[in-house]
Structure 1
Amino acid sequence: MAQGTDGMRRRHFLAGGAAAGGAALLTGTGLAAPAAAADEAGAAAAAAEPVTVVTPADKRYADLVRGWNQRWVAAPERVVLAETTAQVVQAVQKAVAGGKRLTVRGGGHCWEDWVFNPEVRVILDMTKMNKVTYDPRMNAIAVEAGAQLLNVYERMYRTWGVVVPAGMCFQVGAGGHVSGGGWGLLCRQLGLVVDHLYAVEVVTVAADGTARAIVATREADDPHRELWWAHTGGGGGNFGVITRFWFRSPGATGTDPAALLPQPPAEVLVSAVAWPWAEMTEARFTRLVKNYGDWHAKHLRPGTPNDNLVSMLALNHRSNGYIGLITQADATVPDAERVLDDFLAAMTAGLDLAHVPLSTPMGELPAMPELAEPRRMPWLQAARYLGTTNATLNDPSLKGDFKSAYYRTAMPDAHIAAFYRHLGDDLVNPTASVLLSSFGGQVNAVAPDATAAPHREAAYKAAWMIWWTDPADEPRSLRWIREFFHGVYADTGGVPVPNAVTDGCYVNYPDIDLHDPAYNRSGVPWYTLYYKHAYPRLQQVKAKYDPTDVFRHSQSVRAAKP
């Protein structure tokens, strides 16, 4: 943690995040009066039901005050496990009335301490609110925001044969993931998950301290449409407690749930290959990274067969032993094998080093030696395989630090040289890596201001990651990732500022260092790195729906001044 950041962490921490709906207090949705009245009656009944509350005396407490990243452990007075929207409203109202700082756990996958903060007094745990259902009143598929992504895929696909193009890691909660814009292995083919978001339910707090649930839709005449828009990339914990999403693709017609969202490919081709670090000269490393960036910059625009392919280049530290490339392509499109073969040929063009099977775990990815030759797999099987089989991803003892950048072009030589230098230094940690992953295709088909996810012109993104267990390893690990990341962007003040080459950072990979002047010397604030041109509009939403700044953390949206 940077010098001077601790105080900021203590002063600002999350009060909001991901939750999931049950019976709702629906406001401004255009629902018929009888339906709204029925919802309110249901909410009143739900409110009378006892809510599970865990205190420090409960044996469950130690497990419920920490998430995926073991760096962050809270010590709240209580953990409230809500099951309905009405109970969320109650929990928020009680915390506000008592002057208690509230944070909200959705899937527990937050990379920073925005949920599990030392000063939080109440954690609202939404993991019991995980239903995925068809809502005939909204004519959309409803996903409670505590649902984890693999469960969302299982329910949607097994029941209706449809999908939302959300993330790969199985235990990510829908609330934070969707509200941050989302990214997944189907993004080039189907866009971002928010491109299919029809409505969102949010528990907000008015200027007089009253908590209420609001449903905001993308309908042009919805008075709360801006609240919907803010949750299409504006990040979690900024405006209220997300309790439920409704998904229906733009242009979908009829009332059959099987026709309201896109279908994933019945089968996909999955390929996994690696190159040994022992033979990776700087020239070879440069060629490989250049090839990856060139292909994605060339195929940024949608409308070609290459939309059906997504890939991840795992630039692992030398101590891992290998650099890996994982590719997934729709196996049902014409000439699918050729699409994949052409990509692999482009990746290895000019590279005088043969690839080998991917036989070691790489960051969040498992070893996949059996996929050295592309294999056809049913889509859901592939989603489960890639999302659940990595030991690092599932190790409950690990602590980590993470950073991100978007690229619009092939990586400049100076950046690649810094990558090669830091990935080849004397650190001994096989988890240390940078994962380059596909963007573009159908992501690029949506205008940058249509949603609050502004990085539509990016061709690919980079995610820095390092894990450790022993507290003694933390200083060295943090020093390595900071020197690496901020060193790459030394010419632009230490961060990937939006320009012709880079395009800022991904809010779902939050990085507290972005607002520390010791690391960000660019003059470009953290909120521009995350939100670009969308930030002033997000500030207006903040001012309207959270005027007293109940829902805040160290990098939350600040309300626009009157």
Structure 2
Amino acid sequence: MHGARRKAHLVFIKGSPTPLPIESYNKKVTNMRTASSGSVPGLVFLLGLLLFSSSSSSCEASDSVYDTFIQCLANHSDPSPPASSIVYNQSNSSYTTVLQSYIRNRRFNTSSTPKPLIIVTPLVESHVQAAILCSKNVGMEMKIRSGGHDYDGLSYISDIPFFILDLFNLRAIDVNIGDETAWVQAGATLGELYYRIWEKSKLHGFPAGVCPTVGAGGHISGGGYGNMLRKYGLSIDQVVDAKIVDVNGRILDRKAMGEDLFWAIRGGGGSSFGVILAYKIKLVAVPETVTVFRVERTLDQNATDLVYKWQLVADKIDNDLFIRLLLQPVTVNKKRTIRASFVSLFLGDAARLLSVMDKDFPALGLKKEDCMEMSWIESVLYWGNFDNGTSADALLSRTPDSVNFLKRKSDYVQTPISKDGLEWMWKKMIAIGKTGLVFNPYGGRMSEIPSSETAFPHRAGNIYKIQYSVSWSEEGEEADKEYMTQIRRLYSYMTPFVSKSPRGSFLNYRDVDIGVTKTWSYDEGKVYGAKYFLNNFDRLVKVKTAVDPTNFFRNEQSIPPLK
């Protein structure tokens, strides 16, 4: 009985790689009735009546899937806590709260956004194992969410019936200062990780992102980028072990999974290969005193010359120094202009920073009064846009200050943009409207690690990475269209200045504009796969084929298996 109702909601069509939603199946039935004659359309019509005779069939199907899934979970996991306590369907009073708690982009939190039939919130590792086996049993697509910062929502939306495996309860962090390592579960946030390290040591840190509410699982598996990368590389460059649940429900560590899969889940995106439970990371040394600064200049204050010179030194300067460059169209004295903000973290005191800047970037004119000395954990708060003096406890909050509509894109720059090119850019940015650019410098350790060392390929040869950024608070399709058009237009204008053949992109800055797949063929996957992974894409496909040949772990930009 459960199976019949499930098929009423999720229909499997011979020759189709994925089950069809009811609406698509109804359309197929209608087309068949229109195109056919004789007894066949009558049979199809009766089948349609049987499966979809009432408006409540979808709800009944959802309930049936829920009942079947709960029973399966109970059969495959410990009785305590009960399976029903970790699963939410659409009739559950907490469903909406659980769903929306980890949506970080309002574009995917509207009444028309596809919603999961079920949300599973595992409390223990065995719940994840059972969820994989049971989702296969009911034929559901599974989305894996660790923090919800997936810019294009692929971890929690789908065009076909699906459920979410939300890992926010798996947030344990075990810091071992003795051997300078930590086990971090996938649902822990970066803020929680930084706090737990700081609790144990004031001289250790970890190179990862500056937003404290990002989930560790997705962040690390996609590469993990932060303001210490010139000194220590990416997050994945400090990963020494991992635990993953594979398609057969087995929990594997590095030794059990083998070096190929361990390579793939460091930069290739874990959700193509299994469910990441935890990473074992190597902590890095941070000095007792670090220094930050923020210096802003507009076009009237020689910003063009400074941005040009930044390109010549940002990837070659002392490895302890990271200078991010924010470029934003603004209005000053009723005049539209570009503001360039140089935002820095220096792993050392202000005196040494000033010496480095005077030698390698004197044009910025950095002064002692521009510099703020602080502890590393205070710099985490500073870069997280907390007010000075905020307690480190703030890093434990999982609630962002605000959640807006947003779109992000990315590029890599390998040759400095000329001053003429920059001036042309400024005109385009001012004309377009609101979209800004973030230049993140490379060099240092990033240039020393081979591109094949991990699945993340964008290493030597890149001066900096660009993030295109636009956020808005206005609701409605018109606003969405306006701002999405803005950012896509600027991305198009930047084509002459960025990497080519292929034009590279950063997986953690998820961007469905560069390609998606509906068939999970190699050719479709390579459209976006070559941009995210360059020459590493083919190796990722081989790993995928070996560990998940039936393509259970998939999304619109996942690694396809060879068929």
8 Å contact from structure 2 (residues 322, 345) kept in 1: yes
2:450 matched to 1:410?
no
Q: Are 1:276 and 2:269 matched, yes or no?
A: no
Is contact 2:291–2:350 with CA below 8 Å preserved after alignment?
no
Q: Distance in 2 between matches of 1:148 and 1:170?
A: 6
> Distance between the aligned counterparts of 2:351 and 2:170, measured in 1?
41
Aligned pair partner of 1:126 in 167, 182, 195: 167
Using structure 1 for the length normalisation, give the TM-score.
0.74
Structure 1 counterpart of 2:534 = 532
Q: How many residues align structurally?
A: 456
Partner of 1:174: 216
Structure 1 pair 120/397, CA: closer, same or farther in 2 (3 Å)?
farther
- Aligned amino acid, residue 407 of structure 2: D
Q: Deviations over 1:346-365 (max 9, x none)?
A: 446xxxxxx99xxxxxxxxx
Q: Which moved more, 1:534-543 or 1:463-472?
A: 463-472
Q: Which is bigger in relative contact order (C-alpha 8 A, separation at least 6)?
A: 1
What amino acid maps onto 1:68 in structure 2? R
Distance verdict in 2 for CA 1:388–1:56, change over 3 Å? farther
**Correspondent of 2:87 among 53, 68, 71:** 53
Work out the CA distance in 2 between the residues paired with 1:200 and 1:498.
33
Asked if the contact 1:497/1:529 (under 8 Å) is kept, the reply is no
Q: In structure 1, what is the equivalent of residue 192 of structure 2? A: 151
* C-alpha deviation, 1:246, in angstroms: 0.9
CA displacement at 1:182 relative to structure 2: 1.1
| Residues 405 and 461, structure 1, Cα contact 8 Å, conserved in 2 | yes
Counterpart secondary structure, 1:335:
helix
| Larger CA Rg, structure 1 vs 2 | 2
Counting only pairs closer than 5 Å after superposition, residues 472-491 of structure 1 correspond to structure 2 as 472-489=478-495, 491=496
Cα deviation per residue 1:18-43 (whole Å; 9 max; x = unaligned)? Answer: xxxxxxxxxxxxxxxxxxxxxxxxxx
Partner amino acid, structure 2, of 1:230? A
Q: Which residue of 1 aligns with 2:146?
A: 106
Q: Contact 2:412–2:466 at 8 Å: present in 1 too?
A: yes
CA 1:459–1:274 in structure 2 vs 1: closer, same or farther (change >3 Å)? same
On the 8 A contact 2:305/2:419 being kept in 1, the answer is no
Aligned residue in 1 for 2:353: 336
Q: Give ranges in structure 1 of 5+ residues lacking alignment.
A: 1-9, 14-43, 249-260, 300-305, 349-354, 357-370, 518-522
SS at match of 2:306: helix
**Separation in 1, partners of 2:115, 2:17:** 16
- Of 179, 187, 206, which residue of structure 2 is paired with 1:164? 206
> Which contiguous aligned blocks of 4+ residues in structure 1 show a shift greater than 6 angstroms?
10-13, 135-139
SS in 2 for 1:65: helix
**Displacement of 1:194:** 0.9
2-structure distance, mates of 1:437, 1:12: 39
Tell me which residue corresponds to 1:24: none
- Residue of structure 2 equivalent to 1:513: 513
Question: What is the percent sequence identity of the aligned residues?
Answer: 25
1:68 aligns with 2:68: no
Alignment partner, residue 308 of structure 1: 320
Q: How far apart are the structure 2 equivalents of 1:49 and 1:211?
A: 19
Q: Secondary structure of 2:174's partner?
A: strand
Cα distance in 2 for partners of 1:498, 1:157 equals: 43
Which residue of structure 2 aligns with residue 440 of structure 1?
443
How far 1:538 sits from its partner (Å)? 0.5
Cα distance, 1:297 vs structure 2 = 4.7
Task: Work out the CA distance in 1 between the residues paired with 2:309 and 2:144.
Answer: 42
Residue 458 (structure 2) aligns with: 455
- Residue deviations 1:82-140, cap 9 Å, x none? 12221111111111110011111101111012122143521111111111114799994
What is the Cα deviation at residue 162 of structure 1?
2.5
User: Using a 3 Å threshold, how does the CA distance of structure 1 residues 136 and 541 change in structure 2: closer, same or farther?
Assistant: farther
Shift of 1:59: 3.6
Corresponding residue to 1:551 among 544, 550, 553: 553
Q: Is the 8 A contact 1:318 1:425 kept in 2?
A: no
Aligned-residue CA RMSD (Å): 3.2
Distance 1:94 1:137 in 2: 40
Give 1:419-434 correspondences, 5 Å limit.
419-425=425-431, 427=433, 429=434, 432-434=435-437
**Paired residues of 1:179 and 1:234 also in contact (CA < 8 A):** yes
Q: Is the 8 A contact 1:12 1:552 kept in 2?
A: no
1:195 is aligned to 237
Distance in structure 2 (CA, Å) of the matches to 1:116 and 1:436 = 29
Cα–Cα, structure 1 residues 287 and 216, in superposed 2: closer, same or farther, change >3 Å? Answer: same
Q: Deviations over 1:312-345 (max 9, x none)?
A: 1110123486331111111259833312444552
Matches within 5 A, 1:358-397: 373-389=370-386, 394-397=400-403
Give the match for residue 473 of structure 2. Answer: 469
Which digits, 9 at most, give the CA deviation of each residue in 1:145-199, with x for residues without a partner?
A: 1110011011123214422211111111111111111111111111211111111
1:246 aligns with 2:249: no
Letter in 1 for 2:467: A
Deviation at 1:394, TM superposition (A): 3.6
Give the Cα–Cα distance (whole angstroms) in 2 for the partners of residues 327 and 287 of structure 1: 19
SS of residue in 2 equivalent to 1:269: strand
Letter in 2 for 1:62: T
* 1:81 is the counterpart of 2:113: no
Unpaired runs of 5+ residues, structure 2, are 1-15, 20-75, 388-398, 518-524
Aligned-partner Cα distance in 1 for 2:560–2:415:
31
Find the aligned partners of 1:498 and 1:285 in 2 and give their Cα distance.
31
State the distance in 2 between where 1:437 and 1:552 align.
30
In structure 2, do the counterparts of structure 1 residues 233 and 397 end up closer, same or farther at CA, with 3 Å as the change threshold?
closer
Q: Give the whole-Å Cα distance in 1 for the aligned partners of 2:425 and 2:270.
A: 31
Q: Distance in 2 between matches of 1:48 and 1:135?
A: 30
* TM-aligned CA distance change 1:96 to 1:323, over 3 Å: same
Shift of the 554–61 alpha-carbon distance from structure 1 to 2, 3 Å rule, reads same
Summarize the Cα distance change of 1:158–1:136 in structure 2 as closer, same or farther, 3 Å threshold.
closer
SS in 1 for 2:147: coil
| Stretch deviating more after TM superposition (68-77 or 337-346) | 337-346
> Shift of residue 409 of structure 1?
2.8
Kept in 2: contact 1:47–1:86 (CA 8 A):
no
Shift of 1:439: 1.5
Q: 1:82 to 1:407 in 2, by over 3 A?
A: same
Residues 307 and 400 of structure 1, relative CA distance in 2, 3 Å threshold: same
Tell me the distance in 2 between the aligned counterparts of 1:97 and 1:106.
Answer: 23
CA contact (8 A) 1:313 1:435 kept: yes
Could you give the per-residue CA deviations for residues 52-104 of structure 1, whole angstroms, max 9, x where no partner exists? 22222334322332411111244112211112221111111111110011111
- Is the contact between residue 329 and residue 340 of structure 1 (CA under 8 Å) also seen in structure 2? no
1-structure distance, mates of 2:347, 2:181: 26
Map of 1:294 onto structure 2: 312
Q: Distance in 2 between matches of 1:140 and 1:537?
A: 29
